Structure 1
């Protein structure tokens, strides 16, 4: 459904168990039309009456670091299926916005605003006052502003006593990489901490029921029991979850999105899980996922690349509204359920998938776009491409908008050439054909060649931007990590910092 300027739409917000509302204030007619959407200060247990529509006002937000700010952003001018047209009124604001978001998210700000207002006023006032205060606070060798909102594991290591965190009233995010006896009590007692990253915690049981967390990124190794608070909406478990792991979440995870690496654990307590993300997948059986998480509304799968079987089981997820894949293969278009089997689907994005499946799925769903489906089927891959790119870390460059096929091919070949040369070094050392000093010199030369190759590629078209620069660095990091491991077994220690210095000195991108 295409919106019009002034249209007011309502959507049911699960966390509130009420309807929220928004208004389209402007339409930008571009190649892909955009709609400026404003969240409104209204909720109701049923759709609004004409009288209520006349009284609606913009939602002015002051939660956390927002100060009397509107939630007003451009989104794709395609109303999602589950949004309900309530009426049309002259736009409540005429100011333009320079904010853009990926999708319609009405209700998010009103949930945050209500949560903020539930915090005692004195604490809220202290937060707002500190947000303007950049007075330095010195703790050990660390100096942080009083307005600091995030503390990472490097800073935490400098604190002999975590009670020092009380000096930062605006603290909202903490990242720790070792056990701290007082950390969890602090998080449980602070209403402003909405994100916690925790690694190497050494706990078999973690209880966060008294916290106000919204996001939790947690190393799962050794963990057997996890108690979550009601407000948490995103849980990412890294490492290897224990088969004994039991997660206690509000209503079995009814409002929770969980992210796992490689695969999703079968039964772990999240029987009503709303959203599931699987990254780095190699082999996925959708039948097992559906059996463990039958109430999913969102399912996103990222391959390494990976294969997925029993894709037809998607039709069992009758509440599914969002489905996306990236670098996932092993299925046909016939296996993908049609629109009649997934009637609530509002978002279908599949990138880098079998070419025949891409065409069949696009044909099945293109008629759903005018009805509110956000459809994107891109980078169809033929079997020959997959065979060649299975172990190519630059495979995503093939089909990227500003990168040519020739540049993607050159990047892949440079990776393969560098990997082969580095992999040959240990045998050359063991056979006596290479000394330790010569191996070190050879590595430096390989890093130089790797860097110069990308300099040469970028010289004419300057296609290497921030994302590509990070990818080139990450690939080199993986190459040197592998070299460190194999050469260490051959009795040679690699100075990676020195090699990265070579990379930084030579690179022009």
Structure 2
């Protein structure tokens, strides 16, 4: 393997097959392009499913999958993915590329028949959304409810849990022993007994975001979860991140997509517990200077707002606090050019967080103060 070749051998025209839980059968795709500089493969999903094929010729007169469900309007199911061919996919031969135009769409996960299942559901005449019967998405609070554990866990293979404050992985594994994909996210939440995830023998994909409490000994181990082909971690303890990278990096060449970022030391977690802009720290297009100064301006704005509310809540003064915040971010962005649509929304979310925090501390409604603060920002911002 060299740096200009995919970790698993892959070439334009290759047809790859994978078992689809969505279809209860095998499905196939074709590689239509490879971009070595971006380490991406353009992949065209095919309008085919059936028993496991041994060769591309078994597919018959195969056609590209065109999506007409909902508002797709006949668009090809053609997308760029990371060029690591997941280990559950097999190259079964090669055909002349069915399309030659490039794809401008990007997705992290290779398609495993979900779009074909949606299209067939639509073609059957149903206009209701197709929902995978084996997938469950819920909050941590819903997961803890007795009815969720007792009535919904049977048959669940894909589990997504968000809003985690604290979650016991040992209990999760006991409740959902057949998981193939697991996604867990929180807001500086805590995972306990994370090593128990090694007791999910069918696991193929693990995503963890903004959760802590794990250490190096909690790392997934290939000998326990040999089918894993996606490990995505973002906002996790530094030693857990380092152990995961070291353990799984040698398996990339066997078809494991590995993305570990946002490794945080305990000191960072403690310092940023009340910083709603903490996700900017390390974000690819945000310079470190931009993050530090934005976080400092947020803290100054919070302190000024708290002092004003405590001292009498003069809305003219609060509007001026908002204008100062907007002007400071204007100056930062004019030099560093990092505030895009997502960051703009996050800045307003941060101001909402600020007001909510102060409102809780003050013990009274601050709706008018919130309005004055936002109007002050809007009166001057150019981001």
Task: Give the TM-score normalised by the residue count of structure 1.
Answer: 0.68
- Counterpart-to-counterpart distance in 2, 1:293 and 1:51: 39
User: Residue 81 and residue 413 in structure 1: after superposition, are their counterparts in 2 closer, same or farther (change >3 A)?
Assistant: same
1 or 2, which has the higher helix percentage? 2
Q: 2:296 & 2:118 partners in 1: Cα distance? A: 49
The structure-2 alpha-carbon separation of the partners of 1:23 and 1:50, relative to structure 1 and needing over 3 Å to count, comes to closer
- Tell me if the contact between 1:399 and 1:405 (Cα under 8 Å) persists in the aligned partners: yes
Aligned partner of 1:256 among 123, 135, 141: 135
Instruction: Kindly indicate whether residue 159 of structure 2 is the aligned counterpart of residue 276 of structure 1.
Output: yes
Give matches, 1:484-499, under 5 Å. 489=364, 494=368, 496-499=370-373
Deviation sequence 1:126-146 (CA, Å, 0-9, x none): xxxxxxxxxxxxxxxxxxxxx
Residues 484 and 494 of structure 1 are in contact (CA less than 8 Å); yes or no, is this contact kept in structure 2?
no
Distance 1:498 1:335, change over 3 A: closer
1:79-123, CA deviations, whole angstroms, 9 ceiling, x for partnerless residues?
A: 11111222122222223222222221131232122212211xxxx
Q: Which residue of the other structure, out of 306, 313, 331, is the alignment partner of 1:456?
A: 331
**What SS does structure 2 have at the residue aligned with 1:334?**
helix
Q: Please state whether the residue corresponding to 2:208 is helix, strand or coil.
A: strand
With over 3 angstroms needed to count, the CA separation of the structure-2 counterparts of 1:43 and 1:497, relative to structure 1, is: same
1:87 and 1:446, CA in 2 relative to 1: closer, same or farther beyond 3 A? same
CA distance in structure 1 between the aligned counterparts of 2:175 and 2:111, rounded to whole angstroms: 27
Note the residue ranges of structure 2 that are not aligned, 5 or more in a row.
1-7
Matched, 1:192 2:127: yes
2:36 pairs with one of 29, 37, 62: 29
Q: Specify which of 164, 172, 180 is matched with residue 297 of structure 1.
A: 180
Q: State how 1:37-76 maps to structure 2 within 5 Å.
A: 37-49=43-55, 51-53=57-59, 55-76=61-82
The yes-or-no answer on 1:479 pairing with 2:354 is yes
2:377 maps to 1:503: yes
**Cα distance change on mapping 1:310 and 1:485 into 2, 3 Å:** closer
Unaligned runs of 5+ in 1: 120-190, 195-213, 215-231, 234-252, 429-433
Equivalent residue number for residue 447 of structure 1:
322
Q: How far off its partner does 1:8 sit?
A: 1.0
Q: CA 1:499–1:388 in 2, change beyond 3 Å: closer, same or farther? A: closer
Distance 1:440 1:50, change over 3 A: closer
Residue 10 of structure 1 is matched in structure 2 by 17
The answer (yes or no) to whether the contact 1:328–1:353 under 8 Å persists in 2 is yes
Counterparts in 2 of 1:423 and 1:68: CA distance versus 1, 3 Å: closer
Q: CA deviation at 1:485?
A: 5.8
Pair 1:107 & 2:113 matched: yes
1:108 and 1:350, CA in 2 relative to 1: closer, same or farther beyond 3 A?
Answer: same
Task: Compare 269-278 and 43-52 and name the one that shifted more.
Answer: 43-52
> After the TM superposition, which residues 69-88 of structure 1 pair with which residues of structure 2 at under 5 Å, given as runs?
69-88=75-94
Output the TM-score relative to the length of structure 2.
0.89
Give the number of aligned pairs. Answer: 372
Task: Measure, in 1, the Cα distance between the counterparts of 2:26 and 2:325.
Answer: 55
Once the 2 structures are TM-superposed, how far is the Cα of residue 366 of structure 1 from its aligned partner? 0.3
Tell me the secondary structure at the aligned position of residue 10 of structure 2. coil
What's the counterpart of residue 168 of structure 1? Answer: none
* Segment drifting more, 448-457 vs 392-401: 448-457
Q: Distance in 2 between matches of 1:337 and 1:487?
A: 45
Choose from 289, 297, 301 the match for 1:406.
289
Give the Cα separation in 2 of the matches to 1:479 and 1:69: 43
Matches within 5 A, 1:26-425: 26-30=33-37, 32-49=38-55, 51-53=57-59, 55-119=61-125, 191-194=126-129, 214=130, 232-233=131-132, 253=133, 255-261=134-140, 264-265=143-144, 267-271=149-153, 272-425=155-308
SS of the residue 1:288 aligns to: helix
Deviation at 1:488, TM superposition (A): 6.9
